[in-house]
C-alpha cells in the first residue's frame, strides 16, 4: 500500500517509490534516498518532528515536512533483515 514516509511508524520499514516534488529529489538522492531503496523508521521525536531513519547503511534525520514528500510502500518486518 502506497503511503507517505511520515505515516510509517517507528520500527517499520518501507521501500521508496517516488518523491512528490522534484526540488527535494536531488537533496534526498545525495543522502541515499533513491527509489527502490529500503528505509527503516528508527525513531520519532516526542513531538513527532523530526524522524530518524536508516537508509543505505547510515542514520538520517528528516523533518516531518520532508518525510511527507516521500512516497513509500511499507514492507513486513520479516523483509527488513
The pTM assigned to this predicted structure is: 0.84
Q: What is the pLDDT of residues 22-49, one digit of tens each?
A: 777 888 888 888 899 999 999 999 988 9
Q: Which CATH class is domain 2-79?
A: mainly beta
Residue-range domain boundaries for the chain: 2-79
pLDDT at 56: 86
- Tell me the DSSP string of 6-65: GGSPTT-EEEEEEES-HHHHHHHHHTT--TT-EEEEEEE-TTS-SEEEEETTEEEEE-HH
Amino acid at each position: 500500500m502506497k503511503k507517505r514516509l511520515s505515516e510509517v511508524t517507528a520500527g517499520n520499514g518501507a521501500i521508496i517509490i517516488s518523491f512528490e516534488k522534484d526540488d527535494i529529489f536531488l537533496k534526498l538522492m545525495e543522502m541515499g534516498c533513491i527509489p527502490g531503496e529500503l528505509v527503516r523508521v528508527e525513531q520519532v521525536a516526542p513531538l513527532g518532528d523530526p524522524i530518524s531513519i536508516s537508509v543505505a547503511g547510515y542514520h538520517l534525520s528528516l523533518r516531518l515536512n520532508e518525510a511527507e514528500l516521500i512516497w513509500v510502500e511499507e514492507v513486513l518486518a520479516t523483509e527488513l533483515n
